[in-house]
């Protein structure tokens, strides 16, 4: 099984993505996570760029890494500077990283227009930078910036740049698709020539501007590249870098290369979520392999088939990357969705039972009215249990009143709710205020019930979303309220629909509380 070296540049190229700003602490935490995951090289940053990256290289030395080597990144020396006087080269050595990656120009257009030097001088800069660094660090990798665009314009010069790096002793030469515009057939054609002419180990560094970074990286590996550079979740400059969360499983599960241990591959989803969490980015549902929807099945036909053989609609076993199969509940469901979902609730239903058809009909009718159960599985579980006679009432509403009052233009409005509920033979009548009418109602309902059900104290409202369903009816429109609640262990979603926003919110709130009480009882 051929080993492929995974080179992660989330902390350097990933931090060049819009909206991403890692602190030193963030970078150290991601480093530890990537080490635990088994990444071979972690490009920690550009020490000559800013004090934060310089500090990172000081602090990262204190970590005990078991699997990864931290790499410092920078450019070849500046034109009109001697290599030993170049501030950037000096900071790379001062970073004390054992491996350094430098990028150099390989596109004649860039040499002429960005550096404004001769092509010969550029070759000298590459050679001098690498041979000097080789005297100070264990290994030097050469990122051949804009190599594919350079090759398209002037193949001989582009190849000469790689050969200058080879002659200088670069340990790995990495052609880069810096502008991300190269298509797979060109990657193949160009890499075939590179492989014939360059003897050092080769890598690939692809950007995703044509949405081809993953496939371009895989094509390069198939042709012989041994190092893949990319980022977790494809973070990176402009449209991002090659997404390691797709490349690694494709190489390992489908093509038989070895990137990480199989055990570590099962951490893929966790690593992906961790990096999103630190980056303050919402996890992308439809992200292949690691997204919540990557193995989620909605259509009845699909669910019916995966119950028989999961591989009918799943390209890999989700557990291999730490993900799992999910079944969604909607008006596209068939009986199989109901049966499979019920199994998740430990209820075994017979496909021919009239109850299954009853639940399905009810579900489709409610979805037609505007309910949506994909994000409100707790409400669906309650419906199912009501239909099967497995539900019990925990309280009955006698009535509520919500008052919203604004006394002066400049004063904030006041919201107050009073509620009367019956729990067994007791009647409880309470009032509460809130920062809005729904919050006041929520507070009043909990206050009334907590005396009987103290477990409700741990329930928190995490999210509250309102969606207008009947376009064109303005403030008289029907609305759907989706609530996400949680306690110290779980989160659950509930839904309500009405032309009255308080009523829709009430339905979702009651479901949330009933769900919690039902779970405690179970």
Q: Which residues bind ligand CC(=O)C(=O)O (CB under 6 A)?
A: 13, 103, 143, 145, 176, 178, 205, 207
> How far apart are CB 65 and ligand ACO at their closest, in Å?
24
Residue nearest to ligand ACO (CB): 49
Answer positive or negative: Cα dihedral of 365, 367, 371, 373: positive
Q: Which of 33, 45, 24 lies closest to 95 in space, CA to CA?
A: 45
* 231 versus 498: smaller Cβ distance to ligand CC(=O)C(=O)O: 231
Q: Would you report the helix, strand and coil content of the chain in percent, each value rounded to 5? A: 45, 20, 35
Residues 6+ apart with CB under 8 A from 423: 394, 395, 449, 452
And the tokens for 369?
């009215």
Q: Is 132 one of the binding residues for ligand ACO (CB under 6 A)?
A: no
> How far apart are CB 46 and ligand ACO at their closest, in Å?
5
Residue 49 touches which of ligand CC(=O)C(=O)O, ligand ACO, none (Cβ within 5-8 Å per kind): ligand ACO
Quote the distance between the C-alpha of residue 299 and its chain's center.
Answer: 24
* 48 versus 318: smaller Cβ distance to ligand ACO: 48
Q: Which residues within the stretch 79-108 sit at the binding site for ligand ACO (CB under 6 A)?
A: 103-105
Q: Which of 322, 327, 352 lies closest to 338 in space, CA to CA?
A: 327
Please name the residue that has the structure tokens 């004649």: 108
> How far apart are CB 448 and ligand ACO at their closest, in Å?
58
Instruction: Give the β-pairing of 479-486 and 491-498.
Output: antiparallel
Q: Looking at 322-369, which runs of residues are DSSP E strands?
A: 326-327
Residue 233 touches which of ligand ACO, ligand CC(=O)C(=O)O, none (Cβ within 5-8 Å per kind): none
> How far apart are CB 518 and ligand CC(=O)C(=O)O at their closest, in Å?
53
Beta bridge partners of 404: 415
Evaluate whether 497 touches 505 at the Cβ level (below 8 Å).
no
> How far apart are CB 139 and ligand CC(=O)C(=O)O at their closest, in Å?
17
Residue 205 touches which of ligand ACO, ligand CC(=O)C(=O)O, none (Cβ within 5-8 Å per kind): ligand CC(=O)C(=O)O
* 67 versus 154: smaller Cβ distance to ligand ACO: 154
Q: Is 145 one of the binding residues for ligand ACO (CB under 6 A)?
A: yes
Evaluate whether 449 touches 512 at the Cβ level (below 8 Å).
no
Q: How far is 321 from 267, CA to CA, in rounded Å?
A: 6
Which residue stretches of 3-86 are H helix?
Answer: 24-37, 51-60
> How far apart are CB 38 and ligand CC(=O)C(=O)O at their closest, in Å?
23
Q: Is 241 one of the binding residues for ligand ACO (CB under 6 A)?
A: no
Residues of this chain that bind ligand ACO (CB under 6 A): 13, 16, 46, 48-50, 75-76, 78, 103-105, 114-115, 145, 178, 237
């Amino acid at each position: 099984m051929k080993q492929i070296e995974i080179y992660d540049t989330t902390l350097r190229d990933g931090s060049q993505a819009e909206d991403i700003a890692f602190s030193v602490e963030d970078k150290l935490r991601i480093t530890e996570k990537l080490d635990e995951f088994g990444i071979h090289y972690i490009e920690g940053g550009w020490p000559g760029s800013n004090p934060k990256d310089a500090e990172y290289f000081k602090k990262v030395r204190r970590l005990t890494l078991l699997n990864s080597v931290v790499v410092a990144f920078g450019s070849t020396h500046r034109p009109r500077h001697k290599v030993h006087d170049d501030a950037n080269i000096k900071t790379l050595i001062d970073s004390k990283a054992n491996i350094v990656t430098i990028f150099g120009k390989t596109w004649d257009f860039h040499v002429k227009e960005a550096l404004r030097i001769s092509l010969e001088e550029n070759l000298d800069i590459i050679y001098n930078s690498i041979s000097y660094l080789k005297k100070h660090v264990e290994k030097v990798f050469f990122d051949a910036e804009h190599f594919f665009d350079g090759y398209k314009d002037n193949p001989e010069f582009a190849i000469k740049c790689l050969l200058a790096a080879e002659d200088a002793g670069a340990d790995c030469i990495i052609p880069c698709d810096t502008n991300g515009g190269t298509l797979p057939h060109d990657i193949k054609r160009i890499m075939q020539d590179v492989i014939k002419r360059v003897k050092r180990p080769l890598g690939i560094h692809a950007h995703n501007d044509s949405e081809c970074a993953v496939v371009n990286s895989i094509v390069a590996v198939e042709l012989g590249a041994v190092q893949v550079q990319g980022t977790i979740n494809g973070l990176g400059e402009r449209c991002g870098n090659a997404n390691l969360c797709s490349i690694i499983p494709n190489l390992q599960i489908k093509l038989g290369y070895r990137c990480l241990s199989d055990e570590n591959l099962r951490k893929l989803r966790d690593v992906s979520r961790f990096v999103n969490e630190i980056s303050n980015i919402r996890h992308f549902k439809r992200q292949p392999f690691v997204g919540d929807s990557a193995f989620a099945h909605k259509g009845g036909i699909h669910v019916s088939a995966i119950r028989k053989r999961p591989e009918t609609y799943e390209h890999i076993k989700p557990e291999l990357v730490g993900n799992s199969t999910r079944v969604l509940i909607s008006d596209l469901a068939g009986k199989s969705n109901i049966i499979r979902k019920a199994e998740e609730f430990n209820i075994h239903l017979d496909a021919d039972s009239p109850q299954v058809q009853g639940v399905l009909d009810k579900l489709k009718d409610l979805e037609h009215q505007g309910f949506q159960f994909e994000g409100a599985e707790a409400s669906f579980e309650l419906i199912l249990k009501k239909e099967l006679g497995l539900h019990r009432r925990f309280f009955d509403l006698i009535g509520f009143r919500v008052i919203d009052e604004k006394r002066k233009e400049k004063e904030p409005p006041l919201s107050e709710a009073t509620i009367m509920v019956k729990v067994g033979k007791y009647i409880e009548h309470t009032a509460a205020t809130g920062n809005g009418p729904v919050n006041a109602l929520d507070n009043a309902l909990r206050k009334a019930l907590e005396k009987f059900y103290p477990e409700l104290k741990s329930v928190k409202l995490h999210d509250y979303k309102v969606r207008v369903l009947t376009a064109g009816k303005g403030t008289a429109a029907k609305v759907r309220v989706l609530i996400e609640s949680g306690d110290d262990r779980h989160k659950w979603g509930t839904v309500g629909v009405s032309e009255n926003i308080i009523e829709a919110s009430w339905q979702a709130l009651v479901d949330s509380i009933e769900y919690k009480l039902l779970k405690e009882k179970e």
